[in-house]
Structures are given as C-alpha cells and as structure tokens.
Amino acid sequence: MKALARKSWPVAAGLVTFVAVTALLFGRATPSVTGFFAMLWKGAFGDGYALSETLVKATPTLWCALAVAVPAQLGLVSIGAEGQMYAGAIAGAGAVFLFPHQPAWLLLPLMLAAAALSGGCWGSAAGWLKARFGINETVVSMLQNFIAINLLEYLIHGPWIAANSGNWPETAEFPQAAILPPIVAGLRTHVGIFGAVAAAAALWFVARHTRSGLGGIMEASAVQNRLESAFLQGYGISGYLVSWLAGHDFLLIVPMALVMGAILTSADTLQLNAALPASSAIIIQGVLFTCILGWTSFVRSRR
C-alpha cells in the first residue's frame, strides 16, 4: 500500500497541475471553471453516445500505443505508429477494393490480414534500416509518417477517388461485408476495441512483435466506412503519449488509452458547445503529458 502511494503521488501531483493549467487556459470558454470540467466529463462519459465515442477514439489510440510499447520494450524509440496505421489502412482498403463482392467471413479476415502485414512491413523497414545501416530508427519512423500520409493522399485524390464524390478526396464506401460490426446497433463503437484489448492482454502474456496496421483499417472500416484525407491524424502522437504514461506496460496501456479517448471525445464536445477549436485536444494532451512526465521524472531523479 505504501509502495503504491509512493508511486502514485507524483502522478496525482501531475494531474493537479494539469487541471490547474487547463483551467487557466480554457476556463474562460465557459461561464464557470467547474462548468468547464463538467462539460469535459459529460462529453466523454455523459450518455451512451458519449461513452461509445470515447471507446471509438480509444481503439486506434490503443493500437498505436501498443505499436510504441513493443519496440520500446526492446529499447527502440519509434514515433512511426501513425505511418504504420496509414500503411495498414491502405493495404486493407486495397484488399477490399480488389475483392469487393466476397462475403464478410472471407473479406474481413482478408482485409485485416492485408492491413496487419502491410503495417508490419512498414514498421519493420525502420528496424531493417537500423540493423543494416545503423540509421536511427526514431528518425526513419518519423520520415515514414510523411511518406505514408502522402501515399494515402495520392490514392484518395487519384486512383481510388469515389466516382460520385464530386472531386471530394475520399474513396467509395466499403461494401457492407467489409464493415466491422458495431457492438450496439446505431452507435459507432465497433468490435475493434475487443481486438485491441485482446492484443494488449496477449502481449502482456508473451512480449511479442505487434504492428499497428490493424488499428488503421479498423478505423477506416468501422468508423469512416471508407478512406478519407488525414483521417488518422494525431493518433500517432496520442498513442505515443499513452504508451509513455503507462510506462510501456501493456496492461496499464488499456486504461490510459481510455483516458486519452475520453480527452479526444470531450474535446469534440468543447468544439461544439464552447466553440473551442479542434486543436484544443492536442494542447490538452500536451499539457497532460508535460505535467505527468515532469512530476514523475522530478520525483524519480531526487530520490
């Protein structure tokens, strides 16, 4: 108990600092500061829809965080989860567009396998360059993010653009058979969250190699039902923060990803109700990470 208290008080101090800084930055957007945090809470957990959205946003975050945590446990610093997600999404969608008329029992596994393979190859390119040439894997994984994003943009502006989109850069909608089923009809929560949690649990048992390619195609299939421009933007950073805050621990990552999903969802609410721009979500994440990183490192270094 005492050990737990000693470990958790820096985190608590970080959270208090986070609340104070956030209140200072955004408190003015609502009539009262408590109202602001009430709005955050209601936006993330207030009703079934909010809860569903939180899970929807937690899912790719969780996959990304796992993709950071696995190399981190091997001593590698990867910031390439976002690029791996795009690579997975592209390959998964490619499989769907190649075989659009297959039944769901065939198409879904095919799509997921293509995505996982592609995300894996994309991720291991950084590993290969490190092993073969000794190039820093952090730098390569960052460069790869921009390459993957531009590849996606090329596809959705060019070869894969939907015939009826009126030049809006998006692909045709996926066929019904390629859409991951929602958990509750009408809400956007999809079975991908089970996959992500299962992966976290499996990794906890056997620390093995995973790739985040799966996360990308699941988001595309279940949430967007197609590929759009920059639809995964920011999940890479969120995943990195989650993995770090959890100390790259596969089990701690799950609740941390939920917290991050809640932050992302309530930021959407802020956008609607308090007219704050979408970038507040990134600032809130940055402040949270800064506060907790600062306090935990400070306490550790003085011990």
Partner 1 sequence: MTIVQTGADLLISALRSSTPMAFALCGEIMGERAGVVNIGIEGEMLVGAATAFAVTAVSGSPWVGLLAGAAAGAVLSVVHGVLCLVCRANQIASGVAVLALGAGCSSYFGTPYVGRQITSFAPFTLPGASPGVAAVLRAVSPTMVLGLAVPLALGVLLFMTRTGLRWRAVGEAPAAARLLGINVSAYRWTAILLCGVLAGLGGGALSVDYAKGWSEGMTTGRGLVAIGLVVMTRWNPLWTTPVAMIFGAAESLSLSIQSRGVGVSPYLLALFPYLTPLVILALHARFSRRQGTMPASLADILQLGA
Q: Which segments of the chain are extended strands (E)?
A: none
Give the tokens for residue 66.
């796992």
> With contacts defined by CB under 8 A, how many residues of the chain interact with partner 1?
47
Q: Please, what is the angle between helix 137-157 and helix 81-98, to 10°?
A: 30
The answer to whether 139 contacts partner 1 (rule: CB under 8 A) is: yes
In the set 113, 143, 177, 191, which binds partner 1 (CB under 8 A)? 143
Tell me how far apart the alpha carbons of residues 165 and 158 are, in angstroms, rounded to a whole number. 12
The answer to whether 281 contacts partner 1 (rule: CB under 8 A) is: yes
- Least CB distance from residue 293 to partner 1, whole Å? 5
The answer to whether 151 contacts partner 1 (rule: CB under 8 A) is: yes
Q: Which amino acid is at 194?
A: F
What are the counts of helices (DSSP H) followed by strands (DSSP E) for the chain?
11, 0
The answer to whether 162 contacts partner 1 (rule: CB under 8 A) is: no
The answer to whether 244 contacts partner 1 (rule: CB under 8 A) is: yes
Residues 69-78 as b or e (16 or more Cβ within 10 Å = b) = bbbbeeebeb
Q: Are 264 and 253 in contact (CB under 8 A)?
A: no
Tell me how far apart the alpha carbons of residues 192 and 2 are, in angstroms, rounded to a whole number. 37
The answer to whether 283 contacts partner 1 (rule: CB under 8 A) is: yes
- Least CB distance from residue 239 to partner 1, whole Å? 11
In the set 22, 171, 269, 280, which binds partner 1 (CB under 8 A)? 280
**Looking at beta carbons only, is 196 or 237 nearer to partner 1?**
237
Site for partner 1 in 34-93 (CB under 8 A): 75-77, 79
The answer to whether 168 contacts partner 1 (rule: CB under 8 A) is: no
Give the tokens for residue 175.
């066929």
Site for partner 1 in 111-130 (CB under 8 A): 129
The answer to whether 29 contacts partner 1 (rule: CB under 8 A) is: no
- Least CB distance from residue 235 to partner 1, whole Å? 13
The answer to whether 301 contacts partner 1 (rule: CB under 8 A) is: yes
- Least CB distance from residue 129 to partner 1, whole Å? 6
- Least CB distance from residue 113 to partner 1, whole Å? 26
In the set 36, 63, 160, 295, which binds partner 1 (CB under 8 A)? 295
Longest dimension (CA), the chain: 63
Tell me how far apart the alpha carbons of residues 123 and 132 are, in angstroms, rounded to a whole number. 15
Which region among 90-98, 136-144, 187-195, 258-266 touches partner 1 (by CB under 8 A)?
Answer: 136-144
Give contact residues for partner 1 (rule: CB under 8 A).
75-77, 79, 129, 133-136, 138-140, 142-143, 145-147, 150-151, 153-154, 157-158, 237, 240-241, 244, 277-287, 289-290, 293-295, 297-298, 300-301
